[in-house]
Structure 1
Amino acid sequence: MFFKGVLVLTVLVIGTTGFPDGAPVDACVKSRPNQPNHGQARPQPAETNPFQVVQSQVEYGPGSQITVTIQGQDNFKGFLIQARDVATNEWIGEWVESPNTKVHPECSAITHADPKPKAQAVLLWQAPKNGQQGQVYFTGTVLKSYTQFWSDVVSVLGQ
């Protein structure tokens, strides 16, 4: 009986902490793309989102880099951000891994690598080096907590 109690408590603790080291790569391609699989929790309404994903520019050229900043009125614990070409909506480019991040090159995504509260995350995206040029936008999810998150967040151009 004691063992069952410990097992149930362990499952509950693991279930409530989610993915402390970032979203798994399948978050890019599952039935609810860019949304965490957090049991019954669903995204918060877009109009209540206290966070912004801000990109330094829209146009990219071969090998150019764009800074992407996640910021808001409150701290957040996690994120999964994906780069997409404006014309094709295809995944594009790659992220420069930085402290406390993890990249998923399979789907041009970057995620948090620790569950610590963050006031801001400054990320660096790199365009393909193959001579391609175009426009890019960034989309994904920002998590305030395991059950409170906003999905389908779309970047805005910074001032």
Structure 2
Amino acid sequence: MLGSATTTCLLAVLLAALGDAFPDGAPIESCITEIPNRPNHAGTKPRNPNSSKHRFTASSYNYLPGSIIKVRISGPPFKGFFVQARDIYTNKWIGEFAESDQAMSYPECSAVTHNTVPPKTDVLLLWKAPYNRAGSVKFTGTILEKYDKYWSEMVAKVPYAPRVLNA
């Protein structure tokens, strides 16, 4: 039988390991979870997206064939993120993100996630529109400060928002 000091030590190690879950980015399964863009962190719930102190912005809602839209996450230090691009009208995945020194792309589901361990305060993501059409896109996602402190179902805001293109 383990002593109480040993049990406490093992519990502390386990909790530390859980706090560093997915240091190299969210798994591809994040694309198809029951509630999209929400981490499967046992025993936790996301915070209200309106309570986040992070800025989650996009340079536009509208795109032309092959155009680039900048998506930025900034604010207090955060460990991770998972962002998806979705058609405003159909909610289907659309386009793909460029990989960078801070981001790993999942083109099969129009998503991008962090790929580094150190906390971040500013991440710039580049989204590439499909080459065969124009339209309107929204960027949804999760920003994670730590294992049990994250905001899901966030939608990037466009600081200057021209009207959305008609379908």
Letter of the aligned partner of 2:61 in structure 1? V
Q: Could you tell me which residue of structure 2 aligns to residue 152 of structure 1?
A: 153
**Residue of structure 2 in register with 1:49 after alignment:** 52
Residues 135-150 of structure 1 aligned to structure 2 (within 5 Å)? 135-150=136-151
Distance 1:129 1:17 in 2: 38
One-letter amino acid matched to 2:141: G
Match of 2:85 among 53, 69, 83: 83
Shift of 1:15: 2.1
Unaligned runs of 5+ in 2: 161-167
State the partner residue of 1:99.
101
State the identity %: 43
Aligned length: 156
Aligned equivalent of 2:32: 29
Judge which range, 7-16 or 121-130, deviates more.
7-16
CA distance in 2: counterparts of 1:12 and 1:76, whole angstroms:
19
One of 59, 71, 86 as aligned partner of 1:68: 71
**Deviation at residue 128 of structure 1 after TM alignment:** 0.7
CA RMSD after TM alignment: 1.9
Q: Unaligned stretches of 5+ in structure 1?
A: none
When Rg is computed on C-alpha atoms for both structures, the one with the higher figure is: 2
Distance 1:105 1:63 in 2: 15
TM-score of the two chains, using structure 2 as the length reference? 0.85
Give the aligned partner of residue 121 of structure 1.
123
Residue 46 (structure 1) shift: 2.4
Secondary structure at the aligned position of 1:156 is classed as coil
